[in-house]
Amino acid sequence: MGAFRAGPGGSWWVGELEYFEPYLRAYNAAGVETLAHPRDGGTWPQRERRRNPTMAGMHLPPPPSRVAGLVLAAGAGSRYGMPKALVHDSAGHSWLQHAVRVLAAAGCSPVIVVLGARGAEAAALLEAGRDDPTGAPARGACQLPASVLVVQAADWAEGLSASLRTGLRCALDQPDVDAVAIIPVDVPDLNAATVARVIGANHETMDERGTGTAGGPGTAGGSGAAGGPGTAGGPGAADAATSPAAVSADTLRQARFAGQPGHPVVIGRAHWVPLIDSIAGDTGARPYLHAHQVEQIECGDLGTGADVDRPN
């Protein structure tokens, strides 16, 4: 960049120069050879040269969208016999830890976890997984991240919608998050590759940890967390070979498995407040997704998407 003039007090304007460096490089590439002031014998660039097509298209790229993860794990699990946030599979792996790891491995940050029934015990499970350096089994995708936000749904007993509202309100407090990828805690077959596909990330470059599962597929059933099996899908669902666009604040997207809607459900920021205001009871986001023609992304080649409603 050449010699820099010292600012007041001898400080250098390094930050400002670094910011403008891409513009100056593009200006040079446009064919502008002299920037000297006329009083120093130079000439200003001609108007037509300033309108060079290279200059006209010059811009800094926008920042990538940021997707938070949201695990709904507040229910009492009455049909299962215990809160599913406390369940471990036959190999001893925690469903709750697995759900957090999967979202983190797919690129979601932060990961918000909504707890309710026996919430203190579930929170302790998360802390144990975060502190244990060996606590990332091959099926678990990755070590528990530091960016886990645990929130308690005080009204969890009112149904699924209460937990979803709590999670979305927490997401609203994250100003740089554009969308949330929502999963229930009871989908042990879910893997990071599935989440990555639905949020538009490049799951093909993920390592083997991102495609494993924590436990078997279980049995299908239950209402699911956000949309749930049986949710009506919107038109134009993408097939497994399609790479969906990156998410935005307007995104409304859901995974499907062999044509059946499942999780994750990805909801852009523009929908959060209307969803908070409209959901009630135990139906979650299902009516909202149906009314707004959710985009569906086929993921049947990556897993079953089955949720586990009762013990095997």
What's the confidence (pLDDT) of residue 250?
Answer: 96
What's the confidence (pLDDT) of residue 3?
Answer: 44
What's the confidence (pLDDT) of residue 170?
Answer: 98
DSSP structure string for 242-284: --PPPP-TT-EEEEEETTEEEEEEEEEGGGHHHHHHH--TT-T
Range(s) within the chain of domains with CATH label 3.90.550.10: 67-298
Cα 214 from Cα 205, distance rounded (Å): 21
Q: At 146, which helix (H) or strand (E)?
A: none
What's the confidence (pLDDT) of residue 226?
Answer: 60
Cα 306 from Cα 209, distance rounded (Å): 20
Beta bridge partners of 266: 181, 253
Q: What is the residue-level pLDDT of the chain in tens, covering all 312 positions?
A: 444 444 444 443 444 445 455 544 554 554 444 444 445 555 545 444 444 444 445 555 556 789 999 999 999 999 999 999 999 999 999 999 999 999 999 999 999 999 999 999 999 999 887 755 544 443 334 467 778 999 999 999 999 999 999 999 999 999 999 999 999 999 999 999 999 999 997 544 343 333 333 333 333 333 344 654 433 334 344 444 456 888 999 999 999 999 999 999 999 999 999 999 999 988 899 999 999 989 999 999 999 999 998 887
What's the confidence (pLDDT) of residue 131?
Answer: 58
What's the confidence (pLDDT) of residue 159?
Answer: 92
Do the Cβ atoms of 289 and 265 come closer than 8 Å?
yes
What's the confidence (pLDDT) of residue 312?
Answer: 74
The CATH code that applies to domain 67-298 is 3.90.550.10
Cα 41 from Cα 168, distance rounded (Å): 62
| 30, 123, 232, 271 from 213: Cα distances, Å | 52, 22, 27, 30
Closest to 162 (Cα-Cα) out of 35, 282, 57, 288: 282
Cα 299 from Cα 189, distance rounded (Å): 12
Beta bridge partners of 72: 114, 184
pTM for the structure as a whole? 0.70
Give the three-state DSSP class for 76: coil
Do the Cβ atoms of 115 and 153 come closer than 8 Å?
yes
What's the confidence (pLDDT) of residue 143?
Answer: 62
Integer-rounded Cα Rg, in Å, for the chain is: 25
Sign of CA dihedral 79, 82, 85, 91: negative
Place of tokens 């229930």: 184
**Angle made by CA atoms 73, 77, 78, in degrees to the nearest 5:** 160
Do the Cβ atoms of 296 and 237 come closer than 8 Å?
yes
